[in-house]
């Protein structure tokens, strides 16, 4: 390892894994927890200024996109990037993606300084916390922007009849009206009882229906609460991706073992490398099983089945140290082989975060030699003129968690999504969201040799 110069220079990569949100452990995810997550509704770093749907319109169907994921990635410079989040959106309609490579994805960056009206200043030392928080005044709750019930983007339009629900666009208002239960529930109030006064709001009743408080609800109230629940679940399933937390861990790998595992001579070194490989594989398997069990526990067996099948197809694609590799070497593109080998170490990774140091410009893990974005295709930051550099990539394994019907011919599909962002994390006064660049790379037909990595049953995360 030590004599491998190339390896020493390689920056560390943080891997992201999708895990179910542990509601029992910590309740629903909140913006103030500064989490990274997939699906559900976006958690806005800036609750006063929420992204407008106009900023994330699909260039094919002209409808507001669906929230795909967000990454909390704070930076030291400048001060205004003390809190920093990257949001990725995509059109859920696979047919749009077939017509356009990049117009169906959007990525925006949101930043906040340490001293802001939304979160108490965080101090490195606990002793100073009180001192630093002195004089900090939180934003008045009425200054929080309204969010669209359907997509979570800015919702300036309010249902004119009940004034209880906000929407980003007429499309989403119509969706709630026709595909949810709002047509039936709009303007209605929860049935009264001696336990609750008439003003009990919808949210409280909805929460009550999930708690032990169920006993305090009478039959009519229970029915009403159930309807509210069905209403939100219908919209959730139709429009959003299943919500999952992104847990990160550093990628550890031994380039030498990786190379030698593929070498074809039977030297003692190779033997050693293979032993190391087996140990690593066993440790990884245990980790994977734990994840699959956690997912299965929450969602039934569908997800773990989907994981198994994803794993099986990954394994089938990774003939490490196998003769098959030697035989097909000339037919498969080199980037694809490198991709397979790296991913095989952590087959469930859904994200690779590569911007770990300022002075190192990281390289993505391409899925093919074909379709590598040229430097000229990544425009500099329009706000400051600085170049945009590669920050992270979304892996194809994510597709297994999005409850997509992979049997559909126009199902959402990608090899990898590459996100490039302003190297200086520039700040523009009064501008709350800055667009960054996302590039889509697909697997090449040759590289895949007819194997579809995303084959398998649809994850049942949201189909329950
Ligand atoms: Zn579209
Ligand atoms: Zn909306
Ligand atoms: Zn209404
Ligand atoms: Zn910039």
Determine the pLDDT at residue 3: 42
Q: How far is the CA of 212 from the centre of ligand 2 (A)?
A: 32
Q: How far is the CA of 63 from the centre of ligand 2 (A)?
A: 9
The DSSP secondary-structure symbol of 138 reads: P
CA distances from 382 to 81, 83, 421, 426 (A): 18, 21, 11, 10
Q: How far is the CA of 159 from the centre of ligand 2 (A)?
A: 13
Determine the pLDDT at residue 362: 87
Q: How far is the CA of 178 from the centre of ligand 1 (A)?
A: 20
Q: How far is the CA of 154 from the centre of ligand 2 (A)?
A: 7
Q: How far is the CA of 153 from the centre of ligand 3 (A)?
A: 18
User: Apex CA 16: angle with CA 12 and CA 20, to 5°?
Assistant: 160
Q: How far is the CA of 184 from the centre of ligand 3 (A)?
A: 9
Three-state DSSP at 464 gives: coil
**Structural domain includes residue 117:** no
Residue where the block lists tokens 């159930």? 226
Q: How far is the CA of 282 from the centre of ligand 1 (A)?
A: 42
User: Apex CA 392: angle with CA 273 and CA 153, to 5°?
Assistant: 145
Rounded Cα gap, residues 262 and 344, in angstroms = 13
**Structural domain includes residue 265:** no
**Structural domain includes residue 213:** yes
**Structural domain includes residue 298:** no
Determine the pLDDT at residue 256: 72
Q: What six digits make up the tokens of 91?
A: 């059109």
Neighbours of ion ligand 2 (CB under 5 A): 148, 150-151, 168, 172
Residues 217 and 204: beta-carbon distance below 8 Å: no
Nearest ligand to residue 167 Cα:
2
Residues 271 and 365: beta-carbon distance below 8 Å: no
Rounded Cα gap, residues 394 and 392, in angstroms = 7
Q: How far is the CA of 187 from the centre of ligand 3 (A)?
A: 6
Determine the pLDDT at residue 282: 53
CA-based radius of gyration for the chain? 24
Nearest ligand to residue 427 Cα:
4
Q: How far is the CA of 176 from the centre of ligand 2 (A)?
A: 10
Q: How far is the CA of 175 from the centre of ligand 3 (A)?
A: 12
> Domain limits at 177?
152-239
Q: How far is the CA of 107 from the centre of ligand 4 (A)?
A: 14
Determine the pLDDT at residue 193: 63
**Structural domain includes residue 97:** no
Q: How far is the CA of 238 from the centre of ligand 2 (A)?
A: 12
Nearest ligand to residue 93 Cα:
1
Q: How far is the CA of 350 from the centre of ligand 4 (A)?
A: 27
Q: How far is the CA of 186 from the centre of ligand 3 (A)?
A: 4
Q: How far is the CA of 441 from the centre of ligand 4 (A)?
A: 24
Determine the pLDDT at residue 173: 97
Q: How far is the CA of 67 from the centre of ligand 2 (A)?
A: 10
Residue where the block lists tokens 């200024």? 49
**Structural domain includes residue 195:** yes
For residue 78, whether the previous peptide bond is cis, meaning omega lies within 30 degrees of 0, is: yes
Determine the pLDDT at residue 277: 43
Residues 214 and 223: beta-carbon distance below 8 Å: no
Tens-digit pLDDT string for the chain (464 aa) = 344 444 444 448 999 999 999 898 889 999 999 999 999 999 999 999 999 999 999 999 999 999 999 999 999 899 999 999 999 999 999 899 988 878 999 999 999 998 888 998 866 666 666 776 777 777 888 889 999 999 999 999 999 999 999 999 999 999 999 999 999 999 998 887 655 544 455 555 555 555 555 557 788 889 999 999 999 999 999 999 999 999 999 998 777 766 665 544 333 343 333 344 445 445 544 554 554 555 444 444 333 333 444 444 444 444 444 444 444 445 668 999 999 999 999 999 999 999 987 777 889 999 999 999 999 999 999 999 999 999 999 999 999 999 988 888 888 999 999 999 999 999 999 999 999 999 999 998 755 544 444 333 333 333 33
Going by C-alpha positions, the residue among 281, 259, 260 that lies closest to residue 269 is: 260
Rounded Cα gap, residues 304 and 22, in angstroms = 17
**Structural domain includes residue 27:** no
Domain count, the chain: 1
Determine the pLDDT at residue 108: 98
Q: How far is the CA of 414 from the centre of ligand 3 (A)?
A: 38
**Structural domain includes residue 402:** no
Determine the pLDDT at residue 181: 96
Q: How far is the CA of 58 from the centre of ligand 1 (A)?
A: 5
Determine the pLDDT at residue 216: 72
């Amino acid at each position: 390892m030590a004599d491998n110069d190339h390896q020493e220079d390689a920056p560390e990569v943080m891997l992201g894994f999708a895990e179910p949100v542990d509601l029992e452990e910590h309740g629903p995810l909140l913006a103030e927890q500064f989490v990274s997550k997939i699906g559900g509704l976006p958690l806005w770093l800036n609750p006063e200024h929420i992204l407008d749907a106009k900023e994330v319109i699909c260039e094919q169907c002209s409808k507001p996109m669906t929230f795909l994921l967000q990454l909390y990635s704070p930076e030291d410079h400048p001060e205004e990037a003390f809190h920093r989040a990257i949001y990725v959106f995509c059109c859920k309609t696979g047919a749009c993606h077939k017509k356009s490579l990049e117009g169906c994805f959007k990525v925006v960056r949101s930043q906040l300084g340490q001293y802001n009206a939304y979160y108490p200043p965080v101090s490195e030392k606990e002793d100073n916390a009180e001192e630093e928080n002195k004089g900090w005044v939180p934003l008045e709750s009425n200054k929080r922007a309204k969010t669209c019930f359907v997509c979570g983007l800015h919702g300036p339009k309010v249902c004119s009849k009940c004034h209880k629900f906000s929407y980003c666009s007429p499309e989403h208002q119509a969706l709630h009206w026709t595909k949810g239960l709002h047509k039936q529930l709009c303007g209605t109030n929860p049935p009264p009882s001696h336990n609750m006064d008439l003003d009990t709001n919808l949210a409280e009743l909805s929460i009550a229906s999930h708690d032990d408080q169920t006993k305090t609800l009478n039959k009519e109230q229970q029915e009403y609460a159930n309807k509210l629940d069905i209403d939100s679940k219908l919209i959730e399933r139709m429009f959003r991706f299943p919500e999952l937390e992104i847990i990160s861990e550093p990628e550890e790998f031994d380039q030498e073992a990786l190379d030698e595992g593929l070498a074809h001579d039977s030297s003692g070194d190779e033997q050693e490398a293979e032993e190391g490989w087996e140990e690593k594989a066993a440790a990884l398997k245990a980790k994977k099983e734990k994840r699959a069990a956690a997912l299965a526990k929450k969602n039934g067996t569908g997800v773990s089945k989907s994981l198994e099948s994803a794993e099986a197809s990954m394994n089938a694609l990774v003939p490490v140290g196998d003769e098959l590799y030697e035989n097909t070497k000339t037919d498969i593109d080199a980037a694809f082989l490198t991709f397979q080998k790296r991913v095989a170490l952590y087959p469930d990774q859904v994200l690779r975060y590569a911007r770990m140091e300022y002075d190192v410009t990281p390289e993505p893990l391409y899925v093919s030699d074909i379709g590598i974005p040229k430097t000229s295709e990544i425009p500099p930051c329009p706000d400051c003129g600085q170049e945009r550099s590669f920050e992270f990539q979304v892996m194809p394994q994510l597709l297994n968690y999005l409850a997509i019907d992979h049997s559909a011919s126009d199902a959402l599909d990608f090899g990898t999504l590459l996100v490039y962002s302003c190297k200086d994390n520039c700040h523009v006064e009064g501008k709350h969201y800055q667009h960054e660049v996302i590039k889509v790379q697909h697997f090449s037909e040759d590289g895949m040799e007819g194997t579809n990595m995303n084959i398998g049953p649809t994850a049942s995360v949201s189909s329950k």
